[in-house]
């Protein structure tokens, strides 16, 4: 962004914006455009492809994705894995609503050998890979090994690749390395890892980012799988989502998640106190029965989501909202002051202007303020205050922190010569991908002195009158019919167009088909779908689809519990359906697919009742643009077979 009339030198934001444009252009020259699925395999060493750039790296949280154990001939598999992991991430809050705060760069790294070292499900041998990912320092690894770490020289090699991306620093970046393996695994930290090809790998990613970005802790009741943890004996933990206090104490002392108590949890049930967490079996409590930090494929609950929202907004360690404005100091009485803010996907930040402490009427949300229309006098102070009205945050201390709010004050002084910056778009919602039908699309401009940018928006060539002159347009307010549109932002100077940005608007909801195993009996019910009767188990395959490119996510919920992402089946070939049984199936000391009251996921030592009887499954899809499809459902009954007849529930 550029300066106002009160200074002659460009602002830091304008320099950064120009540098970012050069950076993106340079990266695209080096890496080419994002590769399609049928592109020829690359032999690149460290080529960088910007997958999503909505702002300068210095003003963003930067996610750098790398791969290890993918040979040059397997880079197409790597690209597909990256697309799947990212689209799953964008379907999970708060990443879905704050994706525009994050720049994403993909680094292409080809390894000499396929796979990674000491993989317990793939030979358990040492391999020659670029980033030396491994399940253990020495092979063979334990059959249940699940931590994917960097071996000798791996971290140094990663840093060398990342250092090639200008503007990315340890304080504003997060790396994620996908291991070319179908074995479950991953680890958190500033340089997180995950399984590229495991069915649960895309859900390891947000869990590990919960550790890495949010400093959230595991909510497991164990440290070693299958072995109950010891009771918790320490003092009240620093963890935002663990406590030793009772619900009454949380409320009366205004501690931890007291503001969320009683709310319906995003991951099922109600926010309250659920025993176990931080690897302890008992004497410590967490907010939800099952959430992202306890069982994969459930969403973050509200407590963890609030922490993650603050961390994404503050750009990790910087703890500063990426907002900028006319440089502080004296401004001329005829200046046009400006402020630029980050842009969540589904809402705008609140912007309030005041002169001498009094609100300036009619300017709510405006990113520019023309002082010549206000008859301001020398010595008066003009202030802009920016805040995020998101419902994701209830703690006033977080909402008012520098990570989520911004303020700047100027003093009206004498006139000054204008800056000579040219009028142009400087940042926007990424144009390389489709935007959803509910998105708030933005386009920022430079700020030559004394000029209020004039942005005109059209949809399929028709003017969007309510958005004239605005830096953003709320597509959700247009009540669009289902379909695909072209959105255009045109920047005018004296009525003549000087710059333009275009987006494809995907307002077609994704769909999903369910493939159920054959029941042993169907019962017809008038005006309702038949009721399926199963003996002891059933399988469910979900096949989501969309009319646009990009991985489509399917999710479902059982008996009104939390929405759970569909991933097929753990440690099974792609396409293997999800398997429901009364108590669930134990795989590597974790339980999946339980119909038991209390959820589908358990540690095997946790007591649970068999889930015989009536059940209902709802399912839906989320596409690459963030559109959520309609909910469809089916009902079924599970009864014991002869082997489990003794477990038949009593009436």
For tokens 């002195």, name the residue. Answer: 449
Assess contact for 373 and 360: CB atoms under 8 A: no
Whole-number CA gyration radius for the chain: 27
State how far the Cα of 505 lies from the Cα of 42, in Å rounded to an integer: 31
CA separation (Å) from 420 to 8, 365, 450, 495?
8, 27, 11, 19
Nearest to 370, CA basis, from 417, 329, 326: 326
Structure confidence at residue 21 (pLDDT): 44
Residues of the chain with CATH 2.60.40: 511-647
pLDDT digits (tens, 9 = 90+) for 379-428: 999 999 999 999 999 999 999 999 999 999 999 997 665 565 789 999 99
pLDDT over 60 (residue 136)? yes
**Mean pLDDT estimate for the chain:** 90
Cβ atoms within 10 A of the Cβ of 135, count?
25
DSSP 116-162: -BT-TTTTT-----TT-EESSSSSSPPTT----EE-TTHHHHHHHHH
State how far the Cα of 253 lies from the Cα of 245, in Å rounded to an integer: 10
DSSP 543-589: EEE-SSSS--EEEEEETT---EE----TTS-TTPPEEEBSS-EEETT
pLDDT digits (tens, 9 = 90+) for 293-326: 999 999 999 999 999 999 999 998 899 999 999 9
pLDDT over 70 (residue 35)? no
State how far the Cα of 126 lies from the Cα of 140, in Å rounded to an integer: 9
Residues of the chain with CATH 3.40.390.10: 32-212
DSSP 8-state symbol, 645: G
3-state SS, residue 312: helix
Distance between first and last Cα of the chain:
71
HSE toward the beta carbon, residue 264, CA cutoff 13 A: 4
Structure confidence at residue 59 (pLDDT): 87
Let me know how long the chain is.
Answer: 651
511-647: which CATH number, 2.40.70, 3.30.43, 2.60.40, 3.30.1360?
2.60.40
Structure confidence at residue 43 (pLDDT): 46
3-state SS, residue 427: strand
Structure confidence at residue 28 (pLDDT): 40
**Which CATH code is given to the segment(s) 32-212?**
3.40.390.10
Assess contact for 118 and 135: CB atoms under 8 A: yes
């Amino acid at each position: 962004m550029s300066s106002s009339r009160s200074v002659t030198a460009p602002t830091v934001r304008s320099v950064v914006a120009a540098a970012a444009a050069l950076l993106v252009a340079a990266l695209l020259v080096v890496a080419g455009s994002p590769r399609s699925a049928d592109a020829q395999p690359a032999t690149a060493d460290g080529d960088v492809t910007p997958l999503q750039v909505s702002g300068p790296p210095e003003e963003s949280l930067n996610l750098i994705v790398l791969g290890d154990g993918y040979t040059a001939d397997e880079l197409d598999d790597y690209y597909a894995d990256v697309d799947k992991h990212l689209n799953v991430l964008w379907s999970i809050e708060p990443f879905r609503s704050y994706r525009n705060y994050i720049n994403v760069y993909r680094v292409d790294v080809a390894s000499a050998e396929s796979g990674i070292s000491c993989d317990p499900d793939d030979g358990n041998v040492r391999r020659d890979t670029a980033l030396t990912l491994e399940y253990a320092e020495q092979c063979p690894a334990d059959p249940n090994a699940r931590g994917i770490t960097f071996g000798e020289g791996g971290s140094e090699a990663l840093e060398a690749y990342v250092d090639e991306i200008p503007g990315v620093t340890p304080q504003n970046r997060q790396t994620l390395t996908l291991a070319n393996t179908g074995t479950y695994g991953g680890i958190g930290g500033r340089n997180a890892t995950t399984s590229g090809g495991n069915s649960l790998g895309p859900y390891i990613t947000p869990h590990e980012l919960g550790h890495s970005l949010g400093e959230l802790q595991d909510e497991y009741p164990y440290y070693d799988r299958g072995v109950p943890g010891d009771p918790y004996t320490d003092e009240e933990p620093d963890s935002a989502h663990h406590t030793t206090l009772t619900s009454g104490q949380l409320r009366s002392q205004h501690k931890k998640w007291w503001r969320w108590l009683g709310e319906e949890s995003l991951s099922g049930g109600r926010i309250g106190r659920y025993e176990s967490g931080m690897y302890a079996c008992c004497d410590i409590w967490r907010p939800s029965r099952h959430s992202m930090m306890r069982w994969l494929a459930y969403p973050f609950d509200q407590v963890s989501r609030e922490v993650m929202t603050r961390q994404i907004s503050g750009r990790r360690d910087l703890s500063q909202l990426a907002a900028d404005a006319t440089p502080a100091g004296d401004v001329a009485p005829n200046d046009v002051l400006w402020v630029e803010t980050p842009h969540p996907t589904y809402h705008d930040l609140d912007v309030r202007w005041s002169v001498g402490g009094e609100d300036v009427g009619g300017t709510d949300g405006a990113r520019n303020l023309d002082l010549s229309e206000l008859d301001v006098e020398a010595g008066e102070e003009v202030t802009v205050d920016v805040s995020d009205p998101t419902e994701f945050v209830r703690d006033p201390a977080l909402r008012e922190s520098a990570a989520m709010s911004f303020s700047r004050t100027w003093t009206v002084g004498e006139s000054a010569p204008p800056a000579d910056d040219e009028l142009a778009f400087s940042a926007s919602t990424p144009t390389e991908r489709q935007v959803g039908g509910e998105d708030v699309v933005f386009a920022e401009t430079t700020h030559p002195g004394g000029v209020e940018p004039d942005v005109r928006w059209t949809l399929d060539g028709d003017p969007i009158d309510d958005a004239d002159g605005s830096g953003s347009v709320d597509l959700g307010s247009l009540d669009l019919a289902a379909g695909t549109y072209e959105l255009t932002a045109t920047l005018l100077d004296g009525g003549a167009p000087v710059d333009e940005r275009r987006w494809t608007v995907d307002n077609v909801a994704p769909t999903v088909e369910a493939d159920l195993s054959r029941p042993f009996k169907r019962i017809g019910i008038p005006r309702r779908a038949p009721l399926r009767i199963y003996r002891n188990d059933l399988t469910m395959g979900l096949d989501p689809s969309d009319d646009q490119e990009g991985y489509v996510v399917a999710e479902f919920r059982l008996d009104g519990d939390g929405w759970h992402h569909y991933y097929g089946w753990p440690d099974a070939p792609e396409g293997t359906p999800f398997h429901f049984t009364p108590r669930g199936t134990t795989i590597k000391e974790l339980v999946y697919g339980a119909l038991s009251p209390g959820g589908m996921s358990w540690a095997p030592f946790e007591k649970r009742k068999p889930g015989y009887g009536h059940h209902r499954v709802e399912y839906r899809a989320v596409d690459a643009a963030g559109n959520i499809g309609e909910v469809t459902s089916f009902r079924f009954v599970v009864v014991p077979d002869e082997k489990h007849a003794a477990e038949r529930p009593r009436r």
